């Protein structure tokens, strides 16, 4: 698959589904556990479960108001988007990748983590470009 060829790698309890009115939380331990679970499911080709865990990681860190929290959330969204693209669900993938892209571009360029944000942004843009190439070749 084209996405796998790009070499894209965005380096228990059940995931919690939070409603739109759920309070913002910043639970780093849960967020990292959930993202690691997503990584394990993705490694075994279980994309649907991987996406659920990545989204649970995003929810667990959405209340973190630091640049590190924004990077974590963007990375989890990007991982979910890339996983959806691997499964062939390009529309949902593009939606999540667009959200990750927006979070990354909102990070202050003078922040110490700005270089990391630029690297993640480049990875996200590579995945979006790969999806575009797949879409163009199928036309």
User: Domains plus CATH for the chain?
Assistant: 26-137 (1.25.40.10)
pTM, 2 dp: 0.81
Q: What is the pLDDT of residues 67-90, one digit of tens each?
A: 998 899 999 999 999 999 999 999
Residue 1 has pLDDT above 70, yes or no: no
CA–CA distance, 79 with 100 (Å, rounded to integer): 9
Q: What is the pLDDT of residues 38-71, one digit of tens each?
A: 999 999 999 999 999 999 999 999 888 889 988 9
Which DSSP string corresponds to 92-126? Answer: HHHHHHHHHHHHHHTS-TTSTTHHHHHHHHHHHHH
Instruction: Tell me the average pLDDT across 88-105.
Output: 95
């Amino acid at each position: 698959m084209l996405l796998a060829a790009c070499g894209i790698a965005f380096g228990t309890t059940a995931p919690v589904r939070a409603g739109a009115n759920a309070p913002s939380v910043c639970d780093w331990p849960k967020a990292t556990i959930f993202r690691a679970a997503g990584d394990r499911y993705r490694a075994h080709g279980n994309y649907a479960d991987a996406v659920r865990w990545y989204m649970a990681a995003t929810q667990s860190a959405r209340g973190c108001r630091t640049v590190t929290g924004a990077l974590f959330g963007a990375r989890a969204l990007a991982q979910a988007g890339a996983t959806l693209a691997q499964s062939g669900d390009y529309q949902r993938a593009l939606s999540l990748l667009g959200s990750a892209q927006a979070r990354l571009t909102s990070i202050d360029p003078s922040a110490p983590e700005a270089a990391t944000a630029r690297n993640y942004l480049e990875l996200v843009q590579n995945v979006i470009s790969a999806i575009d190439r797949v879409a163009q070749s199928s036309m």
